[in-house]
Amino acid sequence: MRGISGVLHRLPKPSVTMSPSVTLGDLVISFDGRIDDRAGLAAALSLPSSASDATLIAAAYKRWGDDFLAHVLGNFALALWDARAHRLLLSRDYIGVLPLYYHRTPEAITWSSRLQPIIDSTACSREPDRHFMAGFLTRGGGRLDVSPYAAIAAVPPAVLVLFTRDRQTTYTWWRLEPEREIRLASDAEYEERFYATFRSAVSDCLPAEGTIFAEMSGGVDSTSIIAVADEMLRAAHRPARSLQTVSHIYEALTLSDDRPFQAIVQKAFGRPAHYVDERDAPFFAWLGEEYPFEAPTAYWAGAAIMAGVHRTMANENSRVILCGAGGDHLSYSEVEIPPSVADHLAALRFGQALRESRIWAGALSSSQTKILRSSVRQAVAARLGFGEREPSVPPWINRRFAHETAIDKPSRRSADVENYRIPSRRAQVYALRDLSSAFEDRHFFDPNVDVRYPYADRRLVELAFGIPIEQHLRPGETRSLQRRSLARVVPPEIAWRRTKGGPSVAIYARFRQRWRDIKPLLGDMRVCDRGYIDPRPLADALHRAAHGQNVNAVALLRVLALEFWLRKLEQPALAAGRPQRVQTQS
């Protein structure tokens, strides 16, 4: 099992146990993950680049104090015990690729990268946390300091949780700079900067030895990672099988068949390619069996597909896979309301806003009035410092529950966004929150697989955030900078691809086939008993999905994941004699 765990016993005197751990003088360090730009960090600390993770962390802490992680790039979770100062520090990377949880009592603090070890060692309550459920049901709409269990807290991304003798405090060691702008002289300079930063991101994700897998969808995000990794591994004279690709194959329907594009990628780079066909590993395959994950995850429906991927990797003795998640968030893959129009309005450039909204209306086959109305709302919120964001609460969420957990009005929970007065930058901040939620979902699903995300590299995120919006988005052209930068290594059919496949059609088809297994749940839903969901709107949405109507499939999958997890939660509770159900009035 990957991850870290430990316990600090406070009485009669402090004593710490960690796994894994390294003791360096007065410091005990437990670290899981990957440090990027090791040479740069080591040089700043006057250490050799071969220094261990624990040595680098200890030296950084001694030099920079509580701000030390602002100087550490990568994806990680860590615990640090300072015996001299009697301080325990828990933290994880800036976007939360790796999780970390803790349970606190007057006698002890227990932490782990996984939930079950904390439950097993502390016997804490397993009552679900309403704020976590709210965020899960709206994908990142809730708080970042909660776990599925009310008794277990989560360490938020880019936050240091500090325990001293008598206090617990938090310190945010990284955030995007609201006013930072990166202005270069030409398109070519932007392209070179983006490409160089992306190459560094991919390079840091490549282990020094062993077989590496890369997800291959046939889109520009996954293909660009494969292209750069292929070039680097060839330059290092590593064997052809050091990089292999794996693709999910869905039913040969026009909107979801990516095989022609995957064939282009395979031909261009010639790496061993593996395919997991959804017809052999169908969605909803485990319905009728016990829910197999320790927490709710939106990936549950594709468990059979991911199991196929895991078998393929195991056969090649690999546990590292490169994933293109984050590319959409950085490069404005899909645009309904172009944020550049709101930027013009916020800066009082009314003429430019009118001209650009007209062009975008034509490019998107949309209404200029619709674009302007939404852009005005975003611009006013940015100018006045409100935390405005259009609510994305599905109609089946119980209104009282939404209000109590603040997911109905994001302005009530977005104080960290109020400093961003440029609408497009606010959109990027929200996108990062959504991405962090997606990483959490994936880790619940794949805790023992080392999933690496080059597009989530902090240097790349900071660069994309600081670059003017017109480099990313041009009327009728999404992903502009990304496409221009990577066209040198990505086949043109992929670099300039305008369509987007995916599993949606196959999910709906399987949902209709398994409707007879899902329908009986409607009269006895735990999510309704607990007041999270209103039964009638949910039943209506499920019936429409079962009859082929296009509703919010991802949101419905989240409801079902939560339902199955709550049912699983009842089983040990029943055996221990605790109440099997918790009724909540709404």
**DSSP state string for 25-42:** TTEEEEEEEEEESHHHHH
Domain range list for the chain: 5-172, 336-434
Instruction: Please say whether the beta carbons of 103 and 95 come within 8 A.
Output: no
Strand partners, 244: 213
> What is the model's pLDDT at position 582?
37
> What is the model's pLDDT at position 575?
38
Instruction: Please say whether the beta carbons of 336 and 237 come within 8 A.
Output: no
Q: Which CATH architecture has domain 5-172?
A: 4-Layer Sandwich (3.60)
> What is the model's pLDDT at position 255?
59
Length of the chain: 586
Confidence (pTM): 0.92
> What is the model's pLDDT at position 572?
63
Task: Report d(CA 556, CA 572) in Å as an integer.
Answer: 26
Burial of 237 (0-12, 13-18, 19+ CB in 10 A): exposed
> What is the model's pLDDT at position 387?
54
Q: For strand 5-9 and strand 159-163, is the pairing parallel, antiparallel, or unpaired?
A: unpaired
CA dihedral over 63, 455, 325, 183, signed as positive or negative: positive
Per-residue pLDDT of the chain (586 residues; tens, 9 = 90+): 478 999 999 877 889 999 999 999 999 999 999 999 999 999 999 999 899 999 999 999 999 999 999 999 999 999 999 999 999 999 999 999 999 999 999 999 999 999 999 999 999 999 999 999 999 998 766 788 999 999 999 999 999 999 998 899 999 999 888 878 899 999 999 999 999 999 999 999 999 999 999 999 999 999 999 999 999 999 999 999 999 999 998 865 555 678 899 999 999 999 999 999 998 999 999 888 888 888 999 888 998 999 999 999 999 999 999 999 999 888 888 788 888 899 999 889 999 999 999 988 988 888 999 999 999 988 888 777 665 544 478 999 999 999 999 887 654 445 566 677 888 888 888 888 888 888 888 888 878 899 999 999 999 999 999 999 999 988 778 899 999 999 999 999 999 988 777 788 888 888 989 999 999 988 899 999 999 999 999 999 999 988 877 778 889 999 999 999 999 998 864 334 333 333 333 3
> What is the model's pLDDT at position 416?
63
**Residue 288 DSSP label:** T
Q: For strand 73-82 and strand 87-92, is the pairing parallel, antiparallel, or unpaired?
A: antiparallel
